[in-house]
A = this chain, B = another copy of it.
Amino acid sequence: MSAIPHWLRNYRRSALAGDATAGVIVTVMLIPQSLAYALLAGLPPEMGLYASILPIVAYALLGSSMTLAVGPVAVASLMTASALQPLAATGSAQYISLAITLSLLSGGMLALFGLLRLGFLAHFLSHPVISGFISGSAVLIAVGQFKHLLGVQAGGHNVLETLAALAHALPDAKSVTVMIGASSLVFLWAARKYLARALMRLGVPAKAADLMGKLSPMLAVIVSTTVVAIWRLDTTAGVSVVGAVPKGLPAVGVPSLQGVGALLLPALLISLVGFVESVSVAQSLALKRQQRIDPNRELLGLGAANVASAFSGGFPVTGGFARSVVNFAAGANTPLAGVISAVLMGAVIAALTGLFHYLPHAVLAATIIVAVSSLIDFETLHEAWQYDKADAASLLATGVGVVAFGVEVGILMGVALSLGTLVWRSSHPHIAVVGRVPGTEHFRNVDRHAVDTEPGLIALRVDESLYFANASVLQDRIEALLAAQPDTREVLLVCSAVNLIDATALGVLTAMESSLRERGIAFVLSEVKGPVMDRLEATPLGMRLKGGIFLSTHEAFAQARRRNQETPAVP
């Protein structure tokens, strides 16, 4: 890997038009989003802007996706708030310092995982669990923003408490704020739903109409800010506004390492969730253009982005779904689109922050609510329910866990559920007693097919690798069969679906073979795969089984029949 990324060394002029268009459009989306997600994270608005400059450049240099748009995103911002609120007063100097440290830690972890090539860590989360987590987070985020729409103070430790506090604070709602918030909400929702279609009817090409629909939040920002500024609604009607945003590029500085201990777990969770989300977006976009994503380089790119965010006064960032899709659709060919966006954001912060003074919080809240409402995903739940009840249950439990206990407990529940489902599934392997389909060399489940069996022989096919989660289940099944068929002289294990025998399972098989041997019952195997056989051969069990491992189930049956003919079983 050279210091100059591949896309830059081989940059073609033909890519520039697409990159520039995408860069401009993403910037227009990014301005309100970066302010809104800073608000969501409990941080001053300029930190959202800071987090949208250097991180994008860092990712462009190290990441592997051509179209991923990195920056502040809703779920990571919520997780940031949730990690920091127990540690410091929201918005205080310590809170800000901890947010920067969190970004540094998260970036350090991601980069370390990348260097150690631990991209597989993303696999600890199943798709249903992620879906449940995102949906639950979206509910949390949306409910948490209602107070800004009403112009009141109201919070709680969970959704129910927050709703109760909101109901209680309702009489204090500020009417002008409510009007601004409600009209923004209706406008943004209608724009999302109908604007593209309306523009198409007016003759705008589909793609352009779609992109213009994405710019409605900026329109809401401009109109509402203008209205508030003209009538000074902040003082005359108590509309809460963003206020003074410091002008000037972020000071690059070394983040503090204070409070690292309490931030380790949150940083890990933010890294994990951010990485999983980011990679899945990057992957789906790359596939459409037959490009490739390297998960380990993604870890490096996202790690560098977060470290850059920390050094320039930002907070945790990752690849966002909505902006990446827009970036792709607007024609981004290379990360230069992101770099252009970063330069534009730099220009905004260097000169134009004064324009945000009268931007009402209610409009940012409406932006957040409309953005996250599309994250609530009932379709995956429905599909999972149809396809696999266990997966649907994980999804629901994770979603409910997030809403009831917050993001950290929710994501930990999700990891536990993913792994629990995995262990539970493999601890209940499909085990079939098989017999020969008459006149063939094929063997099938005796419960499903009319097959021939051999007296004194129990032939079992286990449809799972044998490891700690299921080895004793196999043993139990064999003992149950032996108890039911006391005249058994041989137990045959058909290993066609056994891709691995781990040390635990080897121990169980070894003990079982000894126990069967003591009872005068032979234990034999068939269809052992090459890699499994390679390992098994050198073990004491492998040596004792020598001559009892058959290439095919057919041969094992043939031998059992020969033995039955030579020495008929005593009834």
Contacts and interface: CB of A to CB of B under 8 A. Distances in A.
Interface of A: 120, 122-128, 283-284, 287-288, 290, 292, 295, 380, 383-384, 386-388, 391-392, 418-419, 421-430, 448, 463-465, 467-470, 472-473, 475-476, 479-480, 482-483, 496-497, 499-500, 502-504, 506-508, 511-512, 515, 518-519, 529-531, 535, 538-539
Contact of A292 (B422, B480, B539): B480
A133 to B, nearest CB: 13
A123 B423 contact: yes
Nearest to A465: B464
Contact of A468 (B123, B284, B287): B123
A504 B126 contact: yes
A423 B120 contact: yes
A511 to B, nearest CB: 7
Given A424-B120, A496-B496, A535-B388, A128 B503 contact: yes
Contact of A479 (B287, B464, B529, B539): B287
Contacts of A464: 465, 499
Contacts of A288: 515, 518
Contacts of A287: 479, 511-512, 515
Q: What is the total number of copies of this protein in its complex?
A: 2
Given A126-B503, A127-B503, A507-B127, A472 B538 contact: no
Contact of A422 (B380, B428, B467): B467
Contact of A502 (B126, B502, B504, B511): B126
Contacts of A497: 496-497, 499
Contacts of A124: 423, 469
Contact of A470 (B123, B391, B479, B502): B123
A481 B391 CA distance: 30
Given A123-B470, A419-B422, A497-B497, 10 more contacts: A120-B424, A122-B472, A127-B508, A128-B504, A391-B503, A421-B502, A422-B422, A422-B426, A422-B468, A463-B529
A207 to B, nearest CB: 17
A475 B506 CA distance: 31
Nearest to A415: B419
Nearest to A503: B391
Contacts of A422: 419, 422-423, 426, 467-469
Contacts of A472: 122-123, 283
Contact of A427 (B123, B423, B539): B123
Given A120-B424, A120-B427, A423-B422, A387 B535 contact: yes
Nearest to A420: B124
A419 B508 CA distance: 19
A296 to B, nearest CB: 11
A421 B502 CA distance: 10
A503 B384 contact: yes
26 contacts: A122-B472, A123-B423, A123-B469, A124-B423, A124-B469, A126-B468, A126-B502, A127-B504, A128-B504, A283-B475, A287-B511, A287-B512, A290-B483, A292-B476, A292-B483, A380-B503, A387-B503, A388-B503, A388-B535, A419-B419, A419-B423, A429-B499, A430-B499, A463-B531, A496-B496, A496-B497
Contacts of A519: 290
Contacts of A515: 287-288
State the 9 A-B residue pairs at the shortest beta-carbon distance, nearest first. Answer: A126-B468, A127-B504, A391-B503, A463-B499, A123-B469, A287-B515, A120-B427, A123-B427, A384-B503
Contacts of A529: 463
B418 A468 contact: yes
Nearest to A535: B387
A539 B503 contact: no
Contacts of A469: 120, 123-124, 422
B531 A430 contact: yes
A480 B469 CA distance: 32
A293 B37 CA distance: 57
Contacts of A539: 383, 386-387
Contacts of A123: 423, 427, 468-470, 472-473
A475 B479 CA distance: 40
A284 B511 contact: yes
A468 B121 CA distance: 11
A368 to B, nearest CB: 27
A479 B295 CA distance: 14
A391 B502 CA distance: 8
Contact of A127 (B120, B380, B468): B468
Nearest to A125: B468
Contacts of A292: 476, 479-480, 483
Contacts of A426: 422
Nearest to A395: B503
A177 B74 CA distance: 67
A427 B120 CA distance: 7
A290 B483 CA distance: 8
